[in-house]
Amino acid sequence: MRLLIVEDEPDLLRSLARALREEGYAVDTAEDGEDGLYKATSTGYDAIVLDGMLPIMDGWALLKELRKTKQTPVLMLTARDRSADRVRGLDIGADDYVVKPFDLAELLARLRAIIRRGSKQSSAKIKINAVEINTASRVILLAGEEVILTAREYSLVEYLALHRGELVTRTVLYEHLFDENDSSLSNLLDVHISNVRKKLGHEFITTRRGHGYSIGA
């Protein structure tokens, strides 16, 4: 899962990006509305964390522009005393909001929920044959036994599971698993695929040669 954070407070941006990367998300950042809009429209993010008050272009203007072309799930960050701003955000097309200063666990839960809704998955648990993926606790069971995956491997499985039955191309996987700062070493998609197969069974991920991958087809 790849996220964009648009936030102009450097400390908050840094700590939020770090926390989200620790959760296994690929994270891009923007510090003003213009750069945020450029990235949001040119990349297929799984969700965007969008501050309201931003330099150059504010979060509401960004969201309004974005919604002309993209339905990327958006979680807005708003100030405690500005309920009119929250209403405006929801009216323009924000999927949810958290009030600053927010509780990190709540922000993470709300993010997972809007990503799930974006992929039309209503339950936190996805079952594909003997594999059960809990997207809330990020635990994967194989025949009832927990399997330990790296954050990257988990993201790969979760992305394919949220798009089960669909053909997911390598280009799309690259876009959703790796952020703008990832080194070429972490980008070894084949290695991650191979490791997931070792842990969850070779047949768990189907290769459609020359096209991409799918699971649960």
Q: Which residues are at the interface with Ca ion (CB under 5 A)?
A: 8, 51, 53
* Residue number, nearest CB to Ca ion: 53
Angle between the 33-42 and 59-66 helix axes, to the nearest 10 degrees? 20
Q: Which is nearer to Ca ion, 78 or 119 (CB)?
A: 78
Q: Which is nearer to Ca ion, 1 or 13 (CB)?
A: 13
d(CA 118, CA 73): 6
Closest approach of Ca ion to the CB of residue 40, in Å: 16
CA distances from 51 to 17, 89, 193, 197 (A): 13, 10, 35, 39
Q: What is the number of other CB atoms lying within 10 angstroms of the CB of residue 206? A: 14
Closest approach of Ca ion to the CB of residue 11, in Å: 12
Q: Which is nearer to Ca ion, 51 or 179 (CB)?
A: 51
Q: Which is nearer to Ca ion, 77 or 126 (CB)?
A: 77
Closest approach of Ca ion to the CB of residue 117, in Å: 26
Q: Are 175 and 136 in contact (CB under 8 A)?
A: no
Q: Which is nearer to Ca ion, 11 or 203 (CB)?
A: 11
Closest approach of Ca ion to the CB of residue 8, in Å: 5
**The tokens 């070493």 sit on which residue?**
185
Alpha helices in 93-184 (DSSP H): 104-118, 151-162, 170-177
Closest approach of Ca ion to the CB of residue 90, in Å: 18
